[in-house]
Structure 1
């Protein structure tokens, strides 16, 4: 059952979030719901899984700006199919 919730947020944050939600073709409400669910889901619950990428963002790990993604992926494939 859906329930209405009122939030006060910085206007710039709202605008960026709306743009992001539109690009992902999801409502802002649903996006907030999924985020809150990801924070409150139990570890052993298989209904909702957070991707490794999202987990890496939330832990503060960063990807160096000078990473050569094509080379990294190529090296990975070469190693995988040895």
Structure 2
């Protein structure tokens, strides 16, 4: 059973999506429905497999409990680009 769904999306995104759907000879509804099916059928418990390089680095750095990643990143980028 199909049910109508209303979405709020930027006009420019809608225009590009409609053109994409037309180029693929599909409806925008069909593309979105299939995308949502893929999203909802992915099992959440599958861990991402790490590459050997990442595995070797895992655990090599321990940040303090009060470490604010976003604050430190902003600081570092500001120093680099200003």
- Whole-angstrom CA distance in 1 between matches of 2:15 and 2:2: 23
- 1:12 paired to 2:12: yes
Q: Which segments of 5 or more consecutive residues in structure 1 lack a partner in the other structure?
A: 44-82
Query: Deviations 1:25-57 (Å, cap 9, x if unpaired)?
Result: 0000011000111100145xxxxxxxxxxxxxx
TM-score by length of 1: 0.50
Larger Rg: 2
CA distance in 2, matches of 1:12, 1:25: 20
Distance 1:16 1:4 in 2: 21
**What's the TM-score once normalised by structure 2's chain length?**
0.50
TM-align CA RMSD: 1.0
- The correspondence of residues 1-82 of structure 1 with structure 2, limited to 5 A, is 1-43=1-43
For 2:21 and 2:34, locate their aligned partners in 1 and report how far apart those are by CA, in whole Å.
Answer: 12
Structure 2 gaps of 5+ residues are: 44-82
Please state whether the residue corresponding to 1:30 is helix, strand or coil.
helix
